[in-house]
Each structure stands twice: as structure tokens, then as C-alpha cells.
Structure 1
């Protein structure tokens, strides 16, 4: 069965697309950045599911993502992935016990150290929220709801991030200092993951697992933001060992670019399992580069234009000065 995207028109954050297959429905993973982990897991496992619309009467923010099957509801990423494994949709069949332990530890590392940093990047940074996060989350809701719902979601996500296990001791810090601590923690996580991945194609065995899906889902918003609003062309890191291009728009993204094997890992999965999204990313980078060139063209030195501007400016200043010292007088009739 083919995977297709679907839109939704419910203003609640909980009424999002479902994955369906023979009565199986998974809610909240299509267009919302927070649930790309589930979507990546489904795509990497070639699960025969289809994205469709579905309604959900519970407006609580905490009940996503949601999986429905046979009248049973399963909430939360880990429980949904466990259910998919029980239905023979898992990515981890055949791995050894030691690899299973490593998988659990790597997923925990991503969730406890990298996730809070990325959540703060998306919701805590004013510029990122206005330019990127809010448009992503309000693209499919009503115009009226878009004036207040994003701010409710933002308050919830920021409060949730403040109370994460490893950030519990940071609750009394200012938002600026808290963000710095979270980014430092996220950078250490990226460095560790880069060291563990090394030159391997995937983190465990010779095929993708939940670790690859989790990391892919977390890196997606960082690199998408850079593609749309940044200056770094990270697609050049597909086969490169180091990044030597423009500096990124944010220190967390810049640190990610210094881990080229992680970016290559992301590009490889995107090109293989999300080819349409990969083309969209490249288009965003091209458009962003074109806009920067147009902006630079407005301020680039141009002899004739510059001479005219300077001449007009000098003339205006001379007329003002002459008027003030009396060289030029206004004679009334």
C-alpha cells in the first residue's frame, strides 16, 4: 500500500493525520515536526500504511501521537513503536541482545539530551518561532485559531522542556541561560552520536533501526530551518568529510555541520525514503540563496547609482545649510 500525505482542517492540535492499514490508525505524524520520529520509523520499515484524515474529540495536547487499532488506543512514541513491532512492522528483528541494549541507550540519549535542545530551538527562540515553527504548525488550521493556538502550544512546550529529566535543575535559570545550557547538552549529544556512527551506514547492524528514525526525526527541523532561512548549503556534506561553506544561522546547526557523518546519514535516509522531501529541501536552499543574492545586489557597489545618490545627498545638504545661514530666502508676495 502506498503512503500518501493528507491534510486536516481541525483547529485542535490533537486532530492530525492518521496512518491507517486494515483498521490501524496512527495519529499526529504527518505535517507536525514533533512526530517525525514515528513517520520515519514507518517509512524506514516499509510499513504498508496510508496517511488519512481522522477526527479526535480530545483536545489535550498530551495525547499525541495516538495509534488506534481494533478499538484499542496506544499513546506515546515508545508504546506505538512497541505495538508496530508486535504487528511485525519493527525494524529491529534479528539484532543481538547487546545491540538491543545499545539501541535503548542511544534512543534514551537522543530523547534526554538532544530533544530538549531542539524543542527549545523551535519554541524558545523568538525568531525561529515567528519565521519557522509557527507557520509550520498553523498551515492547516483556521486563521482565527492561528492567532492564539500557537502561543498556547509554545507555552506548553517551553514548560515541558523546563521540566525534562536532565533540565530539572535549570528551572530557576533565565530563558537565555537555560537555552545556553540546553544547547551545550545538545551539542555534546551530537558529538557522541557522530563518534558512535563513525563511518558506518547505520548505527546498528547493516540496516536502519529506531535509532536512525529517532535521529532523523530530530535533525529534520534543524536542517529544514537552515534550508529556508539560513546561509549554509549543508547538502554539500553528502560525501564531504568537512564543511567549509557559510556559517549556519544558529550555533546548534553550526555544530551539527561540524559532524558531517550525521548530516550524510540524514541526507542518505532522506534521499532513499523521502525523495519528494529531499527535492523540496534542495528547492528551499536554492530559493534562499537566490533571495540572499537579490539582497546583496541591492547594496552592491554600482558606480552610476552611487554617484547619483551622493550628488542628490550633497545638493540637499547644501540647500538646507544655505537656507539656515540666509543665502537662500523665501520671499512672500
Structure 2
């Protein structure tokens, strides 16, 4: 039996947590605060010094690593065209995959300009070189702090591990044509082993079959597994056709022309190019 479709998020963005008392929470800080109130706290056993280290490393990653990750995936032209945009276009359903990647690209450019300040456009090459250097130093510092430990604070994961993994795993696993920062990460063997260990422990289906999916029996009808699949596909096609026709009318590619009475004079839809040829 297929899971029920997820309702639309109020903010249209992830992450989001649906709760009984507070409705849907869509901000990371509010989600963490809510979970801690419910006694779900990955940092419960940490000392005050370890808590301070967590805040320091999170701030370091946000300042030194995050801007370069945005640049690597969204600004670097080769990576964006051959990897990021292609991946999102293949993953997002039709017809959203035609324009959502470009909207996301624009949002990340604006975000990066806010992070880098007004000097971003003045000497982009020099600033990029400095920021990549800082990002490499940040990864090296993480590697030294981790050492030979399984997690940053021993044998149990904490919030810092979740944060670090969310930044490093995409960079490590992505097939980037231009992987300057990726190559430096791959040279830090303990960080690579760290990501691989977390993937095998908590995401064992990565690269394989989802553990909750059972092999399909011979002769099983897809409609029985998902009775709404055909309807959803049809709706997607109809929405796409409406969107394309709307664009065609607004841009003037297609026009509606009324003629005189009689079947021979009626011309419901005519292309502009054909009209020009007839006038000539």
C-alpha cells in the first residue's frame, strides 16, 4: 500500500514539521526548540564545553563553508548546468521542472550576494579564491577535531554531527564536473569515512532499494498499488498543456481569428507565420 500524498506545506519550503498543538512549523530553529521541549535532544548528554564547541563549529560552517557550497552547486556555471539543474529538472515533476530550477538558481545568487556583501561583484575572482581557501581550512579543522572518533563527541551522534553531515555528504557524493572543494574533502580520509559510516548506519538504502519496498509480484497491476497514479499523470499533462497554451497566447505565437459566416470562412486558430504568408 502506497503512503498517502503529503499535503502542501504552508510556506512551500522544507524542512517542515506537522504538530498537534502548534500546527506546522517550518523554521529550523523552531523545529529544534519544539523537539527539545518534547524531550528529543541529541545534545542532552553534552557538557557545557561540548555545547560551546557545537555553537562554535556551527557558526564556523555557516560563515566559511556554506557560501562556498552555494557557489559550488549554484554559481559555478559548469556544475550548475551539468549537475544541479539537470538533477532538479529530472527530479521535480512536470511542468514545474521547466522553471523551478531557474527560480532556485536566482534565489541562491541573491543569497550569496547577501553573504558576500557588496564586494562580490567588484573582484569576483579574487574573492572566490579567498573564500575557497577559507573553506578548505574549515574542512581541515573539522578533520583535525574529529580525529579517529566515530562522531565528534564520542560514540553517539549529536546535533553537530547532523549539521556537519548535511553539509559534507552532498559535496562528497555529488558527481561534480568542477570539484575543487570536493577534491580537498576526498583527501581528508577520516571525514570521508565519517560520512560513509553515517550513510550505512542511518541511510542503508542509499544507492539501493528502499528497505520498506517489497519486490513486486508478477502480474501486479500498477493501478492496484496506486489508484491515483493515472489520474495524477493526466492532471500533470493537462496542466502542462494549459501552461504552454497560455504562454503561446500571451506571447502572440498563437492567435484566435474570427472570419465570416460559413464553414469555409471559419478559422479558429491560426499561426502568425501562416497569416503573414497569406497576406503576401
**Cα distance between partner residues in 1 of 2:98 and 2:63:** 31
Paired residues of 2:72 and 2:79 also in contact (CA < 8 A): yes
Q: Where in structure 2 are there 5+ consecutive unaligned residues?
A: 210-280
Secondary structure of residue in 2 paired with 1:100 = helix
Aligned match of 1:189: 138
Cα distance 1:52–1:92, how it changes in 2: closer, same or farther (>3 A)? farther
SS in 2 for 1:105: helix
Out of 81, 87, 97, the position equivalent to 1:146 is 97
Taking structure 1 as reference, are residues 182 and 162 closer, same or farther at Cα in structure 2, changes over 3 Å only? farther
Query: C-alpha separation between the residues in 1 aligned to 2:76 and 2:92?
Result: 22
Q: Offset of 1:189 from its aligned partner? A: 0.9
Residues 153, 90 of structure 1: CA spacing in aligned structure 2 closer, same or farther, 3 A cutoff? Answer: same
- Asked whether the equivalents of residues 109 and 189 of structure 1 are also in contact (C-alpha less than 8 Å), the reply is yes
Shift of 1:178: 4.0
Distance 1:204 1:112, change over 3 A: same
Q: 1:261 aligns with which of 186, 190, 197?
A: 190
- 8 Å CA contact retained: 1:117, 1:183: yes
Q: 1:273 aligns with which of 199, 202, 209?
A: 202
Q: Residues of 1 paired with 2:118 and 2:187: CA distance?
A: 29
Listed one character per residue, the Cα deviations across residues 47-103 of structure 1 (whole Å, up to 9, x for unaligned) are xxxx962213545xxx54232312434333233222222222221111111111111
Look up the match of 2:160: 211
Deviations, residues 276-310 of structure 1 (Å, cap 9, x unaligned): 11558xxxxxxxxxxxxxxxxxxxxxxxxxxxxxx
Which has the higher mean CA deviation after the structures are superposed, 134-143 or 182-191? 134-143
Quote the residue 1:54 is aligned against. Answer: 7
Segments of structure 1 that go 5 or more residues without pairing to the other structure are 7-50, 231-248, 281-333
1:307 aligns with none
* Structure 2 CA distance for aligned equivalents of residues 58 and 80 of structure 1: 14
Q: Deviations over 1:151-203 (max 9, x none)?
A: 11101112102212xx3364333544443333222111101111111111111
Which 4+ runs in 1 deviate beyond 6 A? none
Choose the corresponding residue for 2:173, options 224, 233, 242.
224
State the alpha-carbon separation in 2 of the partners of residues 205 and 106 from structure 1. Answer: 16
Could you say if the C-alpha distance between residues 135 and 66 of structure 1 is closer, same or farther in structure 2, counting changes exceeding 3 Å?
A: same
Q: Is the 8 A contact 1:119 1:161 kept in 2?
A: yes
Contact 2:172 2:186 in 1 (8 A): no
Q: RMSD of aligned C-alpha atoms? A: 2.5
Number of equivalenced pairs: 207
Q: In 1, Cα distance between the equivalents of 2:155 and 2:10?
A: 42
The answer to whether the aligner puts 1:91 opposite 2:42 as a matched pair is: yes
